[in-house]
Amino acid sequence: MSRLFRRPVLAPPVAFHAADTVAPDVAPLHTRLEDAYGLFIGILFSAMGIALLARGGMITGGIAGMALLGSLLTGHATALLVPLINIPFIAFSLYAMGRSFGIKSAFVSVAIGVGVSIITRSLDVSNIDNGFAAIAGGTFLGMGILCLARHNASLGGTSTLTLWIQKRYRINAGKTQLAFDLALFCVAAAYLPAAKILWSALGTLAMNAMLIAWHKPGRYRG
Query: How many domains would you assign to the chain?
Result: 1
**Would you say residue 59 lies in a domain?**
yes
The predicted structure's pLDDT at residue 111: 95
pLDDT tens-digit map of 188-211: 999 999 999 999 999 988 988 887
**Would you say residue 20 lies in a domain?**
no
The predicted structure's pLDDT at residue 11: 47
**Would you say residue 5 lies in a domain?**
no
With 0-12 / 13-18 / 19 or more C-beta atoms within 10 angstroms meaning exposed / middle / buried, residue 30 is middle
Alpha carbon distance 50, 120 (integer Å): 10
**Would you say residue 172 lies in a domain?**
yes
**Would you say residue 204 lies in a domain?**
yes
The predicted structure's pLDDT at residue 172: 84
Q: Which residues contact 63 (CB under 8 A, 6 or more apart)?
A: 82, 85, 86, 89, 109, 155, 156, 157, 158, 159
**Would you say residue 7 lies in a domain?**
no
Residue type, 114: V
**Would you say residue 6 lies in a domain?**
no
pLDDT tens-digit map of 155-187: 888 877 887 888 888 888 778 877 888 899 999
Terminal Cα distance for the chain, rounded = 63
Alpha carbon distance 39, 7 (integer Å): 66
Alpha carbon distance 162, 62 (integer Å): 10
CB 53 within 8 A of CB 203: yes
Residue 134: pLDDT band with limits 50, 70, 90: very high
CB 216 within 8 A of CB 172: yes
Alpha helices in the chain (DSSP H): 32-55, 62-74, 78-96, 99-122, 130-150, 158-169, 173-188, 194-214
pTM: 0.78
**Would you say residue 221 lies in a domain?**
no
Range of 57's domain? 32-214
